Amino acid sequence: MDFTSSLYLGFVTATVLAFNAWRAPLLRQFVLLAANLVFLAGFVQSAEQLAPLLGFLVLGYAATRWVARWHRRGVLEGTVLLIIVVFAVLKRYTFLPLRMDLPFLYLQVGLSYILFRILQMVIDSAGGEDEARLAPLDFVNFTCNFLCFVSGPIQRSNEYLMNRVQLDRGVDEAVAFSAMHRVIKGYVKLAVVSAVFNYLFANLSVPVLAESTAMAGWRYTAQYAASAVTYTFYLYYNFSGYMDIVIGIGWLLGQKLPENFNRPFSAHNIFEFWSRWHMTLSDWFKTYLFNPLMRFLADRVAAPIWLPYLGVIAFFVTFFVMGVWHGSTSVFVIYGLVMGAGASLNKLWQVFMTARLGRKKYKALAESFAYATLARGLMFAFFALAVTGLWVNMDQLSLLARRLGISGLMFAFVGTALCAAVIGPAVDHAARLLVRLAPRLGRPGLSGLFAQNIVLASEVCLIFAVGSFFHKAPEFVYKAF
């Protein structure tokens, strides 16, 4: 179901109306169940295409029960391994040496995010958390929530249960306006801003990936860098716009979904970046992979002097797995290796500078304008070039490597970093000026509900105007990962 289609808008409208037509929490739960099932049905052509997903859900539900019953580490480890193996089979990873593909087409969309929810419930259930074991109705609505099914945000079971207290409350005027404003803001990002960057990226990247391109040298390098930058902004506005849409709809359905973005391009290193970009994904990996791995390594290396270097290893593994998780083909292994290497080098740099200057001096240096600005530019350049793995296949990646070479790649990286270091602070300064000027630009006679509706109507008109120019808004990019 396309998120910018009239079918999706009609589906959401019907769900919101049906949900708010009932006050009983149980009936509202069944409305959400019906909506989730209808949403799933929109991805398949026959019932058997849902069978593997259903089996995966049954396995996950049963796993939360048996790990809670047998409090043994071996049971938890075996269960987690079984779930990951079943997931890998269903996901059809092409780079695995042994593959056991099912001999028919079935629904794969949403499996990656269901995996996170199931693993969280299994691990927390083994730790004795009662909130991790949901009743059957709650389990299905949590794991198959149509708002989070395709690409998050990654909500946890305890957060989902906290939302249950909202099911018997109505939607007042303030909540309705805030929700509509958030949804329309998301559609502006998705259908307007990301459409512009997608249009630029499509035109810039065609000659870069063409076998018969006549470009060479610095022109080819510059066009590749421009393609990487425009794709990065397309990815950000497309993904963050989708998050705005589902979070806003969630408010109308008694759900407070977690935020997923917080100005990621203002980050000064890869760790800060991932605490601002796809925040729920980063937090999940930190809680359920990085922290346990650090504890495992620390238990086996007693000398405190080695702890920072253990962090280098743990960061590499975490970011590598996070990168590979994004897709099922070999190019995502490269993407994972690049992300892991970037995190490791960043951590080694922090360890080196702390040892060389001391914590206070290194902190003062990192907070200085020149250093912070350059670090911000380097971080943006690294991410923009790293996510090349999301828009090329292995053959195209090999073509880029041959044409760019080490020197071309370095020129693209340095050039992008310097441009970002200059433009980033300038954009921030302009944004602060707009925030200060916004109250003065408002008309004194235009206030309250009428003014709010004028703003919303203007944004809707902008969406239709840009949508008519591009004929069709870009699809939600993250559903392919």
What residue type is 190 in one-letter code?
A: L
Domain count, the chain: 2
**Does residue 256 contact residue 250 with C-beta atoms inside 8 Å?**
yes
Q: How confident is the model at residue 446 (pLDDT cuts 50, 70, 90)?
A: very low
Instruction: Say whether both 208 and 349 belong to one domain.
Output: yes
Q: What distance in Å separates the CA atoms of residue 147 and residue 247, rounded to the nearest whole number? A: 8
Question: Among the three residues 127, 148, 169, which one is the final residue of a domain in this structure?
Answer: 169
Least confident of 200-214, 265-279, 368-382, 460-474: 460-474
Instruction: Say whether both 90 and 125 belong to one domain.
Output: yes
For 199-224, write each residue's pLDDT tens digit. 999 999 999 998 877 777 889 999 99
> Is position 163 within any domain?
yes
CB atoms near residue 107 (< 10 Å): 17
Share of the chain above pLDDT 70, in %: 90
Q: Residue 94 pLDDT > 70, yes or no?
A: yes
The mean pLDDT of 442-449, rounded to a whole number, is 50
Instruction: Say whether both 184 and 150 belong to one domain.
Output: no
Q: How confident is the model at residue 161 (pLDDT cuts 50, 70, 90)?
A: confident
What residue type is 31 in one-letter code?
A: V
What residue type is 215 in one-letter code?
A: M
Residue for token pair 């037509």: 21
> Is position 479 within any domain?
no
Q: Residue 291 pLDDT > 80, yes or no?
A: yes
Instruction: Say whether both 415 and 373 belong to one domain.
Output: yes
- DSSP state string for 286-299: IIIIIHHHHHHHHH
CB atoms near residue 462 (< 10 Å): 15
* 254 backbone φψ class: left, alpha, beta (φ>0; ψ -120 to 50): left
Q: Sign of torsion, CA 437 439 442 445?
A: negative
Q: What distance in Å separates the CA atoms of residue 45 and residue 56, rounded to the nearest whole number? A: 19
Q: Residue 166 pLDDT > 80, yes or no?
A: no
> Is position 477 within any domain?
no
The mean pLDDT of 315-328, rounded to a whole number, is 89
Question: Among the three residues 111, 142, 169, which one is the final residue of a domain in this structure?
Answer: 169
**Does residue 473 contact residue 198 with C-beta atoms inside 8 Å?**
no
Q: Residue 376 pLDDT > 50, yes or no?
A: yes
Question: Among the three residues 116, 141, 169, which one is the final residue of a domain in this structure?
Answer: 169
pLDDT at residue 130 in the model? 76
**Does residue 149 contact residue 258 with C-beta atoms inside 8 Å?**
no
> Is position 474 within any domain?
no
* 284 closest CA partner among 326, 316, 322, 247: 322
CB atoms near residue 394 (< 10 Å): 15
In terms of C-beta distances under 8 Å and separation of at least 24 residues, what long-range contacts does 26-34 make, across chains too?
28/167, 28/168, 28/254, 29/137, 29/138, 29/141, 29/167, 30/137, 32/141, 32/145, 32/253, 33/137, 33/140, 33/141
* 262 closest CA partner among 243, 246, 238: 243
Instruction: Say whether both 425 and 300 belong to one domain.
Output: yes
Instruction: Say whether both 34 and 148 belong to one domain.
Output: yes
* 264 closest CA partner among 347, 177, 380, 160: 380
pLDDT at residue 92 in the model? 85
Q: How confident is the model at residue 437 (pLDDT cuts 50, 70, 90)?
A: confident
Q: How confident is the model at residue 404 (pLDDT cuts 50, 70, 90)?
A: very high
The mean pLDDT of 119-127, rounded to a whole number, is 93
Instruction: Say whether both 157 and 298 belong to one domain.
Output: no
Instruction: Say whether both 439 and 337 belong to one domain.
Output: yes
> Is position 475 within any domain?
no
pLDDT at residue 212 in the model? 78
CA separation (Å) from 450 to 176, 178, 442, 446, 479? 14, 14, 13, 7, 37
For 228-262, write each residue's pLDDT tens digit. 999 999 999 999 999 999 999 999 998 889 999 99
Q: Residue 445 pLDDT > 50, yes or no?
A: no
What residue type is 143 in one-letter code?
A: T
> Is position 317 within any domain?
yes
> Is position 481 within any domain?
no
Q: Sign of torsion, CA 324 327 328 332?
A: negative
Joined tokens for residue 165: 């207290």
Q: How confident is the model at residue 64 (pLDDT cuts 50, 70, 90)?
A: very high
What residue type is 168 in one-letter code?
A: D
pLDDT at residue 146 in the model? 94
Instruction: Say whether both 218 and 163 belong to one domain.
Output: no
Instruction: Say whether both 155 and 292 belong to one domain.
Output: no
> Is position 335 within any domain?
yes
Instruction: Say whether both 205 and 292 belong to one domain.
Output: yes
Q: How confident is the model at residue 133 (pLDDT cuts 50, 70, 90)?
A: confident
Dihedral pair phi/psi, residue 310, rounded to 5°? -65, -35
Residue for token pair 């600005």: 373
Q: Residue 441 pLDDT > 60, yes or no?
A: no
Q: What is the DSSP letter of 212?
A: T
Residue spans of beta strands (DSSP E) within 64-132? none
Task: Enumerate the β-bridge partners of residue 463.
Answer: none
Least confident of 72-81, 226-235, 464-473: 464-473
- The three-class DSSP label of residue 224 is helix
Q: What is the DSSP letter of 343?
A: H
Distance of CA 330 to the CA centre of its chain: 20
Range of the domain at 106: 6-169
Instruction: Say whether both 154 and 180 belong to one domain.
Output: no
The mean pLDDT of 420-442, rounded to a whole number, is 78
Longest dimension (CA), the chain: 69
pLDDT at residue 330 in the model? 85
* 171 closest CA partner among 11, 22, 9, 26: 22
Joined tokens for residue 220: 């080819």
Q: What average pLDDT does the chain have?
A: 87
**Does residue 198 contact residue 467 with C-beta atoms inside 8 Å?**
no
Give the Cα-Cα-Cα angle 343, 349, 354 (nearest 5 degrees): 130
